[in-house]
């Protein structure tokens, strides 16, 4: 039997506690058949409006509260509806999605073009969609502060307004008050990249009414986008430089104080400061109540995989969660698994915003692309059966090449930072001595081994100079066909498929994609970078004394990866990775003390070796991925 949104508010509240609609509504707000909400509303007749919501700040110091513009499209129904929110700085600049769609408006200023397919697909099914301009961008007032309090308020204030706790207006200044009497108060936040990052920040406030977030390739700590354990990442600049490309004219002229605060709080030496702490959403993740559906790319060197791993580790165990992990780089699931993504997202929103008891929360939580377009599901995250195992590098008969062992080795091994090493060069020729790295591996594995979580490296080293940067890579040596770095793993085709209804100025049709692939003999599973000067503190660097031994702990990125039987698992330790990090002021020779160096691995399975036979020489390696524009 269909579940009808025109049931009385009392009955719906009794059944679900989530969806509240007016008694005796003249038209159904939503209809569910065969377990999913149905398209019962016309997108052509939908209500389109803009509401400017006061976020409770005045960062542009004009004596008036800052307001964010929320462009809303909602069904023309007297029943109340939930809201899907995508807050972004990109709507008038870089655009959204693979086709870089921007917002557009008619002559009266009403929104016409809503980027992405959310409005086309979900509004007919009884949802409203609100696309929010970050403060200081597009039609919003205030300042852009790159992950800071104004940005989080840009999303939280809209959720509060939907629940009657904030004030909305009909204009960016002045205007009349507007309420969300049409809303149930139930909200979701979704978004890729910067848009997704704000979902983390808003959820970490614990705001009531936010029922779920869907962060896609999203930052959970802004320090980990710009920096890595004390070292600055090449090409990522500062929060100030990032914001400057998306500010509107008001922000450009009035927000100098905010820009100075960000600049002063992001020293080039990579230190962790109070400015970074404010932009660390993981530290408040214990407040999260919203269900989390996290989508990420294994090869994403824009928003690095450490961000999803530390976020899922930090949210309360009681929070419902789902994880998709593709082989792609910085790509939306709409462009690598489209039909399954729309189907799954539809059921996810139905469950948490309409309280449709479809059981999606009881289905496998983890879906990982093990081979190109080959997906494997597992029931939980963190996965059951993971055991933390520490292994040690042990010297072999070839200088700088050895084995991984469960017991510590002895002696030392050295390499030199010549200022030109890259990830692909460090992992090449694994059986040969290299002056630029050391490499330790298992023999061919007797069975598959799954690495699921964040690996942690403890390294004891002696530098020959007063500055030193370190890089580390966990590598699968063995033949494989994977998504290539070309197009971050996809190629855009010419044919289109349509998702939802079309209306003049806003269709739901998008170009299809296909995977780009490479045949390789080595695949990087996880990587990490660090500045040895921060060996004892990320916030306070120490001057290094040449010839003195230092011990440092740093993370490698989160992973869910299966090393196949007969492949080898290796740890590569190297100096500056110039494809990713800045170089130290003086290039050192670095000596690694093997007995005091180890890596803690989150493993399912055993590192037991198969029958010994010569390992193949790797000649085809995973290529370095140069991060593209952050969007």
- Residues with a known catalytic role: 193, 300, 330
User: Got the DSSP string for 476-499?
Assistant: EEEEEEEE-SGGGGEEEEEEEEE-
Positive or negative: CA dihedral 212, 218, 222, 224:
positive
Q: How many CB atoms sit inside 10 A of residue 619's CB?
A: 10
User: Rounded to whole angstroms, how far apart are CA atoms 232 and 582?
Assistant: 6
User: Rounded to whole angstroms, how far apart are CA atoms 177 and 51?
Assistant: 9
User: Rounded to whole angstroms, how far apart are CA atoms 387 and 242?
Assistant: 39
Q: How many CB atoms sit inside 10 A of residue 126's CB?
A: 29
260: which residues sit within 8 A by CB, 6+ positions away? none
User: Got the DSSP string for 596-619?
Assistant: G-EEEEEEES---B-S--PPPPP-
Q: Are 209 and 163 in contact (CB under 8 A)?
A: yes
The token pair at 504 is 């003049």
Positive or negative: CA dihedral 614, 616, 617, 623:
negative
User: Rounded to whole angstroms, how far apart are CA atoms 298 and 338?
Assistant: 18
559: which residues sit within 8 A by CB, 6+ positions away? 298, 305, 309, 451, 452, 453, 454, 455, 474, 525, 526
The token pair at 425 is 């060069």
Edge to edge, the sheet with strand 168-169 lists 177-178, 168-169, 47-54, 67-74, 128-133, 81-88, 183-192, 210-216, 291-297, 321-326, 366-371, 374-378
The token pair at 145 is 């502060």
Q: Are 631 and 90 in contact (CB under 8 A)?
A: yes
Phi, psi at residue 351, to the nearest 5°?
Answer: -65, -45
């Amino acid at each position: 039997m269909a579940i009808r949104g025109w049931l009385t508010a009392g009955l719906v509240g009794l059944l679900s506690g989530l969806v509240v609609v007016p008694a005796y509504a003249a038209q159904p707000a939503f209809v569910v058949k065969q377990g999913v909400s149905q398209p019962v509303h016309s997108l052509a007749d939908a209500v389109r409006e803009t509401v400017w919501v006061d976020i409770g700040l005045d960062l542009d110091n004009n004596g008036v509260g800052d307001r964010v513009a929320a462009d809303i499209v909602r069904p023309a129904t007297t029943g109340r509806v939930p809201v899907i929110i995508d807050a972004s700085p990109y709507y008038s600049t870089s655009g959204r999605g693979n086709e870089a769609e921007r917002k557009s408006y008619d002559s009266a200023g009403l929104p016409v073009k809503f980027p992405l397919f959310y409005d086309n697909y979900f509004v007919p099914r009884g949802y409203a969609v609100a696309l929010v301009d970050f403060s200081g961008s597009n039609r919003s007032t205030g300042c852009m502060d790159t992950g800071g309090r104004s940005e989080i308020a840009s999303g939280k204030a809209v959720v509060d307004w939907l629940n009657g706790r904030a004030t909305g207006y009909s204009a960016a200044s002045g205007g009349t008050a507007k309420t969300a009497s049409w809303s149930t108060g139930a909200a979701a936040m979704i978004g890729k990249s910067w848009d997704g990052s704000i979902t983390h920040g808003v959820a970490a406030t614990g705001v009531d009414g936010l029922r779920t977030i869907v962060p896609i390739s999203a930052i959970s700590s802004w320090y980990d986008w710009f920096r890595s354990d004390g070292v600055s990442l090449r090409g990522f600049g500062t929060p100030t430089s990032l914001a400057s490309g998306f500010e509107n004219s008001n922000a450009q002229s009035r927000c100098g104080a905010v820009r100075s605060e960000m600049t002063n709080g992001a020293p080039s030496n990579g230190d962790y400061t109070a400015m970074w702490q404010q932009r660390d959403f993981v530290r408040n993740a214990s407040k999260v109540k919203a269900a989390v559906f996290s989508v990420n790319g294994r090869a994403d060197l824009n928003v690095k995989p450490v961000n999803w791993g530390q976020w899922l580790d930090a949210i309360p165990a009681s929070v419902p969660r789902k994880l998709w992990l593709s082989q792609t780089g910085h790509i939306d699931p709409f462009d690598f698994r489209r039909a399954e993504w729309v189907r799954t997202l539809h059921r996810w929103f139905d469950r948490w915003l309409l309280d449709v008891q479809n059981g999606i929360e009881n289905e496998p939580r983890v879906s990982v692309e093990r081979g190109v377009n080959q997906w494997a599901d597992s029931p939980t995250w963190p996965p059951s059966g993971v055991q933390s195992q520490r292994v040690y590098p042990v010297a072999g008969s070839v200088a700088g090449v050895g084995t991984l062992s469960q017991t510590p080795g002895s002696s030392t091994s050295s390499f030199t930072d010549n200022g030109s090493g890259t990830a692909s060069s460090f992992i090449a020729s694994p059986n040969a001595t290299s002056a630029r790295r050391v490499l330790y591996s298992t023999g061919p594995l007797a069975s598959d081994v799954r690495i699921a979580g964040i690996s942690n490296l403890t390294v004891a080293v002696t530098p020959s100079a007063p500055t030193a940067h370190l890089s580390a890579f966990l590598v699968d040596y063995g033949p494989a066909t994977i998504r290539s770095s070309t197009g971050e793993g996809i190629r855009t085709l010419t044919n289109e498929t349509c998702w939802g209804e079309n209306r003049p100025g806003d269709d739901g049709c998008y170009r299809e994609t296909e995977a780009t692939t490479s045949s390789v003999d080595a695949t990087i599973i996880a990587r990490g970078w660090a500045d040895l000067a921060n060996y004892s503190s990320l916030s306070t660097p120490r001057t290094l004394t040449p010839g003195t031994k230092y011990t440092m702990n740093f993370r490698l990125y989160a992973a869910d990866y299966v090393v196949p039987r007969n492949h080898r698992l290796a740890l590569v330790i190297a100096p500056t990775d110039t494809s990713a990090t800045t170089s130290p002021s003086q290039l050192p020779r670095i000596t690694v003390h093997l007995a005091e160096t180890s890596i803690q691995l989150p493993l399912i399975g055993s590192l037991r070796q198969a029958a010994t036979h010569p390992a193949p020489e790797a000649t085809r390696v995973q290529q370095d991925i140069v991060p593209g524009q952050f969007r």
